[in-house]
Each structure stands twice: as structure tokens, then as C-alpha cells.
């Protein structure tokens, strides 16, 4: 079984290494000190299990989860975070609380072995992130994968998102990024007064809309700052008006 | 005793407020009884003085009949009865004064009789008004007292708060060291115990010398330096004279913890925390600077600064300041507390 460890603290990685080395048939493929490295290492080594710290430089554990292969089993490792613990319990995600003993660690590993091959639901990471965010606060940035690298889009720089099958296409600063996520879950994470779902397939940054032109009786077209033209449905037109009206 | 009488300034103010009231009463009876100015004054001055003291008596009645737990009928009945008794008594005194003066001022008692109903009604009204005022004062007092108690309790809770995230991470570091380096594991155990013990001890006190607060901060950083290793560098520049200054307990340590948690911990290479302590005209100025990643994932627990700010506000009002500046990659927090030479004694 191939394992990757991601924790920014050397000593914390040491505990995992110590326990893992005693287990037969385990290979530690990589140890990472930040979220970017973790995403890269998972893509490169295709491990079976990722031990993932929640608070890390560059990307936190939830953002890493969004960007990695959904077949990799993930065990979160955290010291104390009431909200995260509640979210993990609710989503039935495996986690270890620091400090943890060898027996607890082995139990987590056994559970993983029984479940290898399972694929995580695509919405899990968004659900976790929404669960740990305090009420009234919204996503400030969106992380996307750019080949092997990670790109961060600040929420204010996102022009719009377009639904494409299992993916969403994110338009920002003249470029388009693809991400495996539904448009509804992105909508639930972003500020509802800054982003409006003007169409079933489109979520638009309200600051980017210059005007709305009538099209047919029940459809309109939104024209964005960069000239992009986006269809507006009847329901979307209502949402847009109620947002700018009050 | 009535709270007004505890304070001679308040008592004077209260009596002063009776001057216009007495003047109005005088005007009313002089018109109603066609009295001269001198006759009016002779009657109204003693009446007003007596009334001023009688109107303090509802303090006891109002506390015996609290608004919330007394029925409306009983409340109204008791206070109306008292108002009638007071009105009758005051009227009797006024009559005695008038009749004793009718030797020098013939017909005064007869003429004063015309002003009887006006005076009786006014006295009853003023007395009822004073009852209402007393209820307002009592209500304000209770709500202020409960607010103070709530704030005190909150401060105690805030001070006693040792960040669980820090505690569990430190225990994890110890757990890691027990296998690889038992001597350092024991050392860290002791450092953690020192920090916890000191923070509990200092948390019980309202003010402590700045030097003790810095000592606690040092203990905290000793533990964190084991956890972060080379990632956590320190630079300290504190004027020796700062050490004697009294500061609220546990105001510096949370600022340093903030710098570690939201600055150093989110930087892969870590960085240096710079602490400056200076005595300036307005008091003690403490500055803490740390590098940070402006693009770091949002942190969910930025309550440390808010706690310190609330505590400073509760204690110093506008005299203390906590300023935060964030440039591209440096985060700076400046704390200014007025210096107190003597420790504050609870009143």
C-alpha cells in the first residue's frame, strides 16, 4: 500500500512515519510540508492513502481534497477543531486527533484497507468546507488545478462559472479553468449577494454585468464587461432583479 | 439610606432642582389665593423644603413594591394612598403656617383657603412623579449591575482560555519526541507545564508587571519553537523601563500566539517575529511584526485580537489602542496602554 503524508510540522510527520514503518507492506511515497506539494505528490505517485493535516501553508486540507483524485483514500489529521470534527463525523470521513496512539492509528488503517477502491462523492469537499465556515462567511478563493500545478482564483476575480457535464468552467482574467464540481455547490459556497445564478448553467459575478438585453419573450442576454454574452433565464432574471433591487 | 444622600454634590443638585418647582408652586397659590409675594414665600419655602425630603421616601416604598412582582391594584392602591397622606400632611402644615401668620397679615388664613385645592393636587402629583422617577432609577441600577457582572464573568472566562489547538499540537509534538528524543520530550513537557501554570496564576490577577507578561510569552514561545523548529525565529527589543509598567494580565501572549498561528504556521519557510517595547508619552507601546501569506487559506479562528480589544476597551475605554496594519507580507499589531504607577484597587 502506497502512502503520502501531508503535514507542515516535522514532528507531526515523524509520528506518522514511526507508526507506518512498523506496518508490513506499507511504502511511504512522499512527505509534504504544504498543500501544493500534497496535490502534486498525489498526482505523481498515485498513492492509496493520504494522511492530510487540516491547517497547512498554501492550501488547507479541504482545498487539497478538492483537487486530488477521488479514488485516493484520505485520513484527516487534526489537533483540535470542533467544527472540522463535527463536519468529519457528519460526512463519515476518517480522521485522527492529535496526539493519537498506535492502536487508534492501526484501526484507521484497517478501515481504509477494507474500503480501498471506493470513490469519494464529488461534493464531499465542498460540503466539508461549507460545514466548517462560520455562518455568514463565504468562500474567498477557489482553487483549481493547472496541469500539475495549483492555481488560486480570488472570488472577486471570477467573472462567471459555466456548467459543463460533470465540470464547471471558471472564467477569470481572460482564462478558463475546468474543475470537477457542480455549479449548485459552487453557488452555495460563494457570497449570494456577489454571485447570481442567472441561468441554470451560469453563475455570474454581479460586478461584471454591464447590461441585460431582452432576447425573446422569456429570455434575456447578459453582457459582461469583457463583452461575453450569457443567456439569462426567466428565473435568473427575477433573481438578478431582486438582488439589485434590494 | 437613600443613594442621593451618600453624595453631597448629588444632594445639592437635587435640592437645586426644587428651586424651580417651589417657584411654580408659589406662583400657583399666589394666583389662586391672591397672596402677596412675601406671604407666598413665607408659606411655600417651608412647604418646599419638607416636600423635598418627603419625596425621597419612595426609595423605600419602591423597593418594597418591585414593579415586576407587585400586582397593579396593590401598586396603585399603596402609592395613591401614600400620595393622599403626603398631600394632606403638607396641606396641614401650610395651613398652620398661614394661620400663625394671620396676626401680622390679617385674613391670610382665609385667602389661603382659596389655594387649598391647587396646593393639595400639586403636592399629590409631585409625589407620584417622584415615585415614577424612583422606579426608573432602580431599574437603571439593576440593569447596570447585571451588565457589570456579566462583563466580569466574561473577562474571567477570556483570561482563563488556553487555546486547545495549541495544547493538543504541543502534546502531539511531545508524543513524537518520546520515540526519537526522550530528553527533549521531557524538556518540552516541563516547558508546557511551566507555561500552563504561569498562565493560570497570572490569569487570576487583573494587572501584572509587563516583565511577567513577557516571561509568560517567552514560555509560550519556547513550546512553539519545539513544534516549529527553525521556522520560528525571534527578535526581541524591549526597553528595560517597560518591565515595571502594569499591564492587564494576558494581553501580550495572545498577540504573539496570533502571530504564530496566522503568520508563521501558514508559511512553509516560517519567518521572524519581531517584538518592540517602548515607553512613550501616552504610555507603553508594544509592537509585534510577523511575515504572513496574504493568499493563505482563510483562517476560521481570528478571535484572539478581538478578545484583547474587548478587554482593553472594558478597562481603559479610549485611552488604550490596538492597531493592526497589514502590508503585502508583513502583519503588524501595535498595542498602546496607559501606564499606571499604582495598581488599581477594586472599589
Residue B3, pLDDT above cutoff 80: no
Quick one: A42 and A164 in the same domain? no
Quick one: B176 and B118 in the same domain? no
- The answer to whether A132 faces chain B, any CB pair under 8 Å, is yes
Residue A139 or residue B103, greater confidence? A139
Quick one: B132 and B177 in the same domain? no
Which pLDDT value is given to residue B66?
83
Answer for the pair A70, B140: CB distance below 8 angstroms, yes or no.
no
Quick one: B211 and B90 in the same domain? no
What is the rounded distance in angstroms from the CA atom of residue A126 to the CA atom of residue A189?
7
Chain B residue closest to A96 (CA)?
B172
Q: Residues B257-279: what's their mean pLDDT?
A: 93
Out of A60, A79, A140, closest to residue B169 by CB: A79
A111-159 tens-digit pLDDT: 988 887 788 887 888 888 888 887 888 888 999 998 888 999 999 999 9
Which pLDDT value is given to residue B341?
56
How many CB pairs (< 8 A) connect A and B? 80
For A159, the grid coordinates are 467573472
**Which of chain B's residues have a Cβ under 8 Å away from the Cβ of A133?**
298, 300
Quick one: A31 and A126 in the same domain? yes
Residue B202, pLDDT above cutoff 90: no
Q: Range with the lowest mean pLDDT among A12-21, A74-83, B271-280, B285-294?
A: A74-83
- Chain-chain contact of A80 with B227 (C-beta, under 8 angstroms): no
C-alpha to C-alpha distances, A18 to A30, A32, A57, B177, nearest whole angstrom: 14, 16, 23, 11
* C-alpha distance from A82 to closest chain B C-alpha (Å): 10
Quick one: B49 and B144 in the same domain? yes
- Across chain B, mean pLDDT equals 86
SS3 of B175-187: HHHHHHCHHHHHH
**Which of chain B's residues have a Cβ under 8 Å away from the Cβ of A8?**
265, 268
- Chain-chain contact of B297 with A33 (C-beta, under 8 angstroms): no
For chain A, the domain total comes to 2
Which B positions 172-191 lie with beta carbon below 8 A of chain A?
A: 172-177, 179-180
Residue B84, pLDDT above cutoff 70: yes
What ipTM score was computed for the predicted complex, to two decimals? 0.85
Residue B342, pLDDT above cutoff 50: no
Range of A87's domain? 2-132
Residue B175, pLDDT above cutoff 80: yes
- Chain-chain contact of B298 with A140 (C-beta, under 8 angstroms): yes
Among B101, B127, B157, the domain-final residue is B157
* C-alpha distance from A133 to closest chain B C-alpha (Å): 7
Among B105, B134, B157, the domain-final residue is B157
| Residue A24 DSSP code | T
Mutate to test the interface with A, among B297, B298, B301, B329 (most CBs of A within 10 A): B297
- The answer to whether B298 faces chain A, any CB pair under 8 Å, is yes
A57-72 tens-digit pLDDT: 999 999 999 999 989 9
Residue B250, pLDDT above cutoff 80: yes
Amino acid at each position: 500500500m502506497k502512502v503520502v503524508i501531508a503535514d507542515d510540522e516535522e514532528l507531526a510527520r515523524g509520528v506518522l512515519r514511526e507508526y507506518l514503518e512498523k506496518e508490513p507492506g506499507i511504502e511511504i511515497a512522499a512527505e509534504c510540508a504544504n498543500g501544493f506539494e500534497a496535490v502534486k505528490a498525489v498526482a505523481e505517485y498515485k498513492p492509496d492513502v493520504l494522511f492530510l493535516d487540516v491547517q497547512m501553508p498554501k492550501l488547507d486540507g479541504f482545498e487539497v481534497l478538492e483537487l486530488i483524485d477521488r479514488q485516493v483514500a484520505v485520513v484527516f489529521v487534526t489537533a483540535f477543531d470542533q467544527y472540522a470534527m463535527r463536519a468529519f463525523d457528519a460526512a463519515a470521513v476518517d480522521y485522527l486527533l492529535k496526539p493519537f496512539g498506535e492502536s487508534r492509528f492501526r484501526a484507521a488503517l484497517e478501515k481504509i484497507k477494507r474500503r480501498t477502491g471506493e470513490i469519494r462523492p464529488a461534493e464531499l469537499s465542498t460540503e466539508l468546507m461549507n460545514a466548517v465556515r462560520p455562518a455568514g462567511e463565504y468562500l474567498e478563493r477557489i482553487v483549481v488545478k493547472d496541469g500539475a500545478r495549483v492555481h488560486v482564483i480570488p472570488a472577486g476575480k471570477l467573472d462567471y462559472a459555466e456548467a459543463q457535464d460533470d465540470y464547471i468552467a471558471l472564467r477569470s482574467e481572460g482564462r478558463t479553468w475546468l474543475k470537477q464540481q457542480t455549479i449548485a455547490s459552487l453557488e452555495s459556497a460563494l457570497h449570494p449577494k456577489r454571485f447570481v445564478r442567472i441561468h441554470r448553467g451560469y453563475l455570474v459575478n454581479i460586478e461584471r454585468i454591464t447590461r441585460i438585453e431582452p432576447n425573446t419573450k422569456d429570455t434575456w442576454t447578459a453582457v459582461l464587461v469583457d463583452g461575453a454574452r450569457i443567456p439569462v433565464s426567466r428565473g435568473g432574471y427575477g433573481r438578478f432583479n431582486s438582488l439589485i433591487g434590494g | 439610606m437613600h443613594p442621593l444622600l451618600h453624595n453631597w454634590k448629588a444632594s445639592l443638585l437635587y435640592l437645586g432642582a426644587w428651586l424651580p418647582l417651589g417657584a411654580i408652586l408659589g406662583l400657583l397659590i399666589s394666583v389662586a389665593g391672591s397672596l402677596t409675594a412675601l406671604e407666598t414665600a413665607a408659606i411655600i419655602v417651608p412647604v418646599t423644603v419638607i416636600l423635598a425630603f418627603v419625596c425621597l421616601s419612595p426609595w423605600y416604598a419602591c423597593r418594597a413594591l418591585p414593579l415586576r412582582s407587585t400586582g397593579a391594584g396593590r401598586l396603585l392602591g399603596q402609592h395613591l394612598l401614600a400620595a393622599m397622606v403626603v398631600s394632606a400632611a403638607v396641606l396641614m402644615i401650610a395651613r398652620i403656617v398661614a394661620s400663625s401668620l394671620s396676626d401680622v397679615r390679617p385674613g391670610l388664613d382665609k385667602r389661603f383657603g382659596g389655594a387649598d385645592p391647587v396646593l393639595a393636587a400639586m403636592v399629590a402629583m409631585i409625589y407620584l412623579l417622584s415615585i415614577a422617577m424612583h422606579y426608573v432609577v432602580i431599574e437603571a441600577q439593576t440593569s447596570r449591575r447585571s451588565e457589570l457582572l456579566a462583563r466580569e464573568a466574561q473577562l474571567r472566562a477570556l483570561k482563563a482560555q488556553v487555546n486547545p489547538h495549541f495544547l493538543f499540537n504541543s502534546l502531539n509534538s511531545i508524543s513524537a519526541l518520546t520515540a526519537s528524543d526522550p530528553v527533549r520530550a521531557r524538556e518540552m513537557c516541563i516547558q508546557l507545564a511551566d507555561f500552563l501554570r504561569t498562565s493560570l496564576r497570572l490569569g487570576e490577577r487583573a494587572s501584572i508587571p509587563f516583565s511577567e507578561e513577557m516571561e509568560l510569552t517567552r514560555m509560550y514561545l519556547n513550546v512553539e519553537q519545539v513544534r516549529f523548529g527553525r521556522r520560528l525565529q525571534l527578535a526581541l527589543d524591549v526597553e528595560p523601563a517597560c518591565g515595571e509598567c502594569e499591564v492587564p494580565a494576558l494581553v501580550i501572549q495572545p498577540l504573539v500566539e496570533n502571530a504564530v498561528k496566522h503568520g508563521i504556521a501558514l508559511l512553509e519557510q516560517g519567518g521572524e517575529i519581531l517584538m518592540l517595547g517602548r515607553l512613550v508619552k501616552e504610555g507603553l507601546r508594544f509592537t509585534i511584526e510577523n511575515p504572513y501569506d496574504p493568499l493563505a487559506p482563510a483562517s476560521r479562528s481570528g478571535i484572539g485580537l478581538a478578545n484583547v480589544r474587548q478587554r482593553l476597551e472594558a478597562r481603559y475605554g479610549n485611552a488604550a489602542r490596538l492597531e493592526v496594519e497589514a502590508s503585502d507580507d508583513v502583519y503588524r499589531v501595535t498595542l498602546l496602554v496607559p501606564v499606571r504607577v499604582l495598581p488599581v484597587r477594586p472599589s
